[in-house]
Structure 1
Amino acid sequence: MQIILAPMEGVVDHLMRDMLTQIGGFDLCVTEFIRIVDQLLPARVFQRICPELAQQGYTAAGTPVRIQLLGQEPNWLAENAFRAVSLGSHGVDLNFGCPAKTVNKSRGGAVLLKQPEQLYQIVKAVREAVPSQHTVSAKIRLGYDDTSLTLENAHAIAAAGASVLTVHARTKADGYRPPAYWPWIAKIKQQVNIPLIANGEIWDRDSALLCQQQANCQDIMLGRGVLAMPNLAQSIRQNSHAMPWPQVLTLLMQYSEYEVSGDKGKYYANRIKQWFTYLKRQYPEAELLFQQLRTLRKSNEILTQLQIALQQAA
């Protein structure tokens, strides 16, 4: 079984990857997407989204990182994919699942699920550009408005030479509303001959095992679930309990120090609150603390409240 940390735009940056892979259990991380339009991007763009390139593409814990690209133009995606692996990315991932309206309006992400031929052309161009020893993976949803093209899309991606296909088992129209339709992944597996990775609604070990059973797929990708339970990957592997709340608070402090002192400090308040929306699912204490943080805007005020909570929990 492989467990992959999902790319989550605006949430799982290199700081979060560093922290979560140090907790352990992950075999691979995929970055937030790099938007490709009509040019070969300079190396600094890849290095900004994936600072791990300075360490041969590994997190401090030794977990490999794969850069994700999003776009619709096969040749430009191919050129940028080659640059990504040349800089040290462990393969390249293609985003055909992003549901964001702004992305879809510019013909990127999930809207491409309406165009199997375009999926084929993109994957084919990228596969031909990237040396064969590097993985070319793709991530899809089950469709845009419905599942009428699910199998055709999967066939197109496999036929174009993708190494691996990750399936978020919902359509774009489904958004993130439960359930995830894991049996669809089993249907896809019957039709294509490349490895599949199951994604969607994996919140704990029980849901991971049910997903694997219904999807007929051992490899899984964790997204929001690992934000709700930071040791989810370890819990799935070892049948262990959720980490204690005081340990989560220590992580929150560590993450805060990363973010505030790093180049993304101006986003810190929004990011920490977004993390709390997931933690509340697993930890009742997170709901109480979130109410204290909800109206705060300044980093030092949030840090003070976290410090008080940590002292009270100790």
Structure 2
Amino acid sequence: MRLLLAPMEGLLDFPLRDILTRVGGYDHAVTEFARVSGTVLPRRYFHRISPELVSAGRTAAGTPVRVQLLGSEPARMADSAAVLVALGPAGVDLNFGCPAPTVNRHRGGAVLLDEPELLYRIAAAVRAVVPRGMPFSAKMRLGVRDTRRALECAQALVEGGVDELVVHARTKAEGYRPPAHWEWVGRIADVVPVPVAANGEIWCEADWRRCCAVSGTDDVMLGRGAVADPFLARRIRQAIPDEVATDPTWREQEWDELRPLLAHFWQLVRMRVAARHAPGRLKQWLGLLRRNYLPAQRLFDEIRLLRLPQEVDLVLVRHRIFPTPKALAA
């Protein structure tokens, strides 16, 4: 069994990756995508999206982090991958899963699933510069509008040299709407000779069990479910059933453990994000946490209309996220 932490553009970046891997349970994480377009990406760009590169490609908790590339030009992708490889990441990943219209309009992400031959050329070009000892994976969806070419796309990526696949079990057109078609992960796994992980619509331990049963794989990538429930991967590993995990007393204990992690997250965001954008990042995470934690709902309600980080600081003190105002300067 492997549990992987998903790349999520605009959400699961370095600060949140640091927090979730501190809680534990993940075999590896993947960065937000590095967009390769007209020029070769410089070293500083990769260091910005993956500060873990300065620590052998691992988070502070020791979780390996693969850096994800997105683009449609094989030669440019290979040239940027060569720059990345020289920095020593824990692995290289290719993005054929992003459904965002702005990305797809510029021939990136899931829209390329109509062109299996291009997927092969991209994978082969990048494989040529990624050393065999370095993990090389790709994430794909089931297709653009339908699943007719899903098997062909998976085979093209593997023939191009990818040695692991993650399948987000929906088409580009389906976006993030339920359900996820986990049975297709099994169909893909049947036709490729590499490990295949399932992704999509896994919010709790019961979802994980159903996904594994339907897909036939024990390898799962967690995305929004991990952000909404930071302890999900750890509970899956400990085989703690949902009826225990949803008990109010259990949730209160988890919130107590989460409180200092929220403080650390806020401090990381304050260091990395412009002041005017920082409150939005905390609201974004709390917006998902409130699915599982009542205190997150109360905290979200209090900061929802706040715009200044200093105003947010005071609310965090009142909610015992920070023990005292002096802790804000620590």
Which TM-score applies when normalising by structure 1? 0.95
For residue 255 of structure 2, the aligned residue among 225, 235, 245 is 245
Deviation, structure 1 residue 247: 2.6
Q: Does the CA-based 8 Å contact 1:183-1:215 persist in structure 2? A: yes
Amino acid across the alignment from 2:56: Q
Partner of 2:95: 95
Partner of residue 291, structure 1 = 301
**How much has 1:267 moved relative to structure 2?**
2.6
- Deviation of residue 288 (structure 1)? 2.8
Task: State the aligned residue count.
Answer: 313
Give the whole-Å Cα distance in 2 for the aligned partners of 1:17 and 1:56: 16
Higher mean C-alpha deviation, range 243-252 or range 121-130: 243-252
Moved more, 127-136 or 264-273: 264-273
- The alignment-based identity, stated in percent, is 48
Partner of 2:19: 19
In structure 1, which of residues 271, 277, 299 is the aligned counterpart of residue 287 of structure 2?
Answer: 277
Q: Distance in 1 between matches of 2:38 and 2:299?
A: 45
Residue 177 (structure 1) aligned with residue 189 (structure 2): no
**Aligned residues of 1:256 and 1:303 also touching (Cα < 8 A):** no
Residue identity in the other structure for 2:142: L
Local SS of the residue matching 1:69: strand
Partner of 1:28: 28
Native 8 Å contact 1:253 1:307 kept in 2: no
The match for 1:81 is: 81
1:86-125, aligned counterparts within 5 Å? 86-125=86-125
User: Is residue 289–residue 296 contact of structure 2 (8 Å, CA) maintained in 1?
Assistant: yes
Tell me how far apart the structure 2 counterparts of residues 40 and 311 of structure 1 sit (CA, whole Å): 42
Aligned to 1:153: 153
Question: Displacement of 1:91 after TM fit?
Answer: 1.8
Aligned AA for 1:286? Answer: A
The match for 2:266 is 256
Answer whether contact 2:120 2:160 (CA < 8 A) is retained. yes
C-alpha separation between the residues in 2 aligned to 1:30 and 1:128?
A: 21
Q: Read off the aligned partner of 1:27 and give its amino acid letter.
A: D
Q: What SS class does the counterpart of residue 281 from structure 1 fall into?
A: coil
Counterpart amino acid of residue 104 in structure 1: N
Q: Give the deviation of 1:264 after TM superposition.
A: 5.0
Structure 2 residue identity aligned to 1:277: G
Structure 1 residue 306, shift from structure 2 partner = 2.1
Q: 2:63 aligned with 1:63, yes or no?
A: yes
Helix, strand or coil for the counterpart of 2:4?
A: strand
- TM-score, normalization by structure 2: 0.91
The residue that corresponds to 2:141 in the other structure is: 141
User: 1: distance between equivalents of 2:16 and 2:277?
Assistant: 14
Shift of 1:79: 1.4
Per the alignment, residue 310 of structure 2 pairs with 300
Contact 1:180 1:201 in 2 (8 A): yes
Q: CA RMSD in A?
A: 1.7
